Structure 1
């Protein structure tokens, strides 16, 4: 058996296709296919069912995958340990992160980290959907919001306050709601990955969900912010998106006597997988870059208490 064949098999199992596995490994699809065939020949077993629609693992493939994945992780960890002994952070690091947060904040924080550790080979995939870090082969995922996936171990990087905001023009035309009940009569701008049920607020001893009228549903936070600035409705936005617009006066905080549930910017890795020194060092660098409280909340004051 050759290690490059095992790496292709594990990548195919995680990606669900040879072409995607080849892309992740940065090799030609034909090379990936040849390595997989050679591995099956050396094992004397068929590991993957091939069809025109999709690939799936055979029983032998399922049995081989767990140990093959563990072996590759151990080899990666051994190589990383040697690099650490030499005082160097090196090797591949594959992350998933949200689009708008990366463009506005994560990217500027990452660039100094990569300059300081030029031997790290970072692959950064931008995607706002919820990622299965284990199945999709990520070393870590960076997200904002609550933690729901118990298969992930999360490290907090910064708090992520969310506030209701609207353009002064919209509030002048439609009035400014002063209670949760008053929100029902207003148009809302909603993030499709959370849905209209996302407007949940913490009151003494209970959580209240509000469903405003749908003005716009969209899967990008910056478009939500821009739609709010254009006066299309009220949006519930994280401060890393809305802070600058609030300070500039193009958005105004809507006070309804309640705050949203506590959320965070976090980096998470699959449970049961030892996080590398690269990931731990990156987390420390990001915490320092974002600050506590995070710099994007500067000048916005403390959260309003629940009524």
Structure 2
């Protein structure tokens, strides 16, 4: 299989832009990767890489060879998976990255179900808010939330994510509630210090308007901000997947409901390539099965609106809590 190893090394060099980085991604020394590329070029009788002081890049022949090499490796993986499935389902190791809070609360139960469905599938999951390098660190897939930046990664949107502005009933009783987002400056807000932007953005009169929240309590943890909000320390903006239970229990109520915030997303991203490995495909299929369309944390609130249930009323909140318990995966 040395020729296949040489092809893998070459593709890694092109994707990472250097022999050392390719070696780290493959768990090999730089010298071994260099020897493999030299052997490939000697066998093919042509240069595949242009080497400069700034790094390496594929030649025209290298671009063509990379495309064909990727197809060869994809065909090999597909052949192995076809045989494995005939022998008893998806097999191999799925290395997955997922956000800590969201992953533990919502995704971990689905992964347990995935493991039960596919006994020959191994799961290696990193639950962390660290943004991993899928290619360099050899992850098969990652779950990401929010708005994706342009990249070479292939993304599949599983579900929308909506954000709500919330406060405790006690806070509203003591301080009142802003009539519009522009009045937020008059209120104590709980600020997410790790957010990609410091502003809260609202749709006002068909325009998206950024508003800068301010307050004395800041944290890079959404869970911490939610605890502070429930304790009556201020107004907070939280994704529904985090706050739905607190809303259903009446611990938090909606503020500025008529001013929506931008929709974001729940995505699975994977390394580039047309072929989707079977282990990634079954993960995506199950996530779509469980969360596609309207996730349970949003579906119950949508149903409450249709039934005319007031989510700021204690009895209404209790009913939504019951609905969430009925819809949430076991």
Q: Which residue of 2 aligns with 1:119?
A: 120
Kindly report which structure 2 residues correspond to 1:294-305, keeping only aligned pairs within 5 A, or say none.
Answer: 294-297=295-298, 299-300=300-301, 301-302=304-305
Q: Deviation per CA, 1:108-157: give whole Å up to 9, x if none.
A: 11111112112223332334355554555433321222344253443332
Kindly report which structure 2 residues correspond to 1:125-140, keeping only aligned pairs within 5 A, or say none.
Answer: 125-131=126-132, 133-134=134-135, 136-140=137-141
Secondary structure, in 3 states, of the residue corresponding to 1:177?
Answer: coil
| Cα offset, 1:89, TM superposition | 1.2
Unaligned 5+ segments in structure 2 are 309-330
| d(CA) in 2 for partners of 1:156, 1:41 | 41
| d(CA) in 2 for partners of 1:95, 1:74 | 22
| d(CA) in 1 for partners of 2:254, 2:184 | 13
Kindly report which structure 2 residues correspond to 1:1-307, keeping only aligned pairs within 5 A, or say none.
Answer: 1=2, 3=4, 36=33, 39=36, 42=39, 63=62, 66=66, 71-86=72-87, 88-131=89-132, 133-134=134-135, 136-149=137-150, 151-186=152-187, 187-190=189-192, 192-197=194-199, 199-290=200-291, 292-297=293-298, 299-300=300-301, 301-302=304-305
| d(CA) in 2 for partners of 1:15, 1:191 | 32
Unaligned 5+ segments in structure 1 are 50-55
| Distance verdict in 2 for CA 1:15–1:272, change over 3 Å | closer
* Aligned partners of 1:11 and 1:21 also within 8 Å: yes
| Distance verdict in 2 for CA 1:274–1:215, change over 3 Å | farther
**Could you tell me the TM-score, scaled by structure 1's length?**
0.75
Secondary structure, in 3 states, of the residue corresponding to 2:183?
Answer: helix
| Cα offset, 1:173, TM superposition | 3.8
| Distance verdict in 2 for CA 1:222–1:32, change over 3 Å | farther
User: Does 155-164 or 217-226 show the bigger shift?
Assistant: 217-226
* Aligned partners of 2:163 and 2:239 also within 8 Å: yes
**Could you tell me the TM-score, scaled by structure 2's length?**
0.70
* Aligned partners of 1:162 and 1:237 also within 8 Å: yes
| Cα offset, 1:224, TM superposition | 2.8
| Distance verdict in 2 for CA 1:272–1:10, change over 3 Å | closer
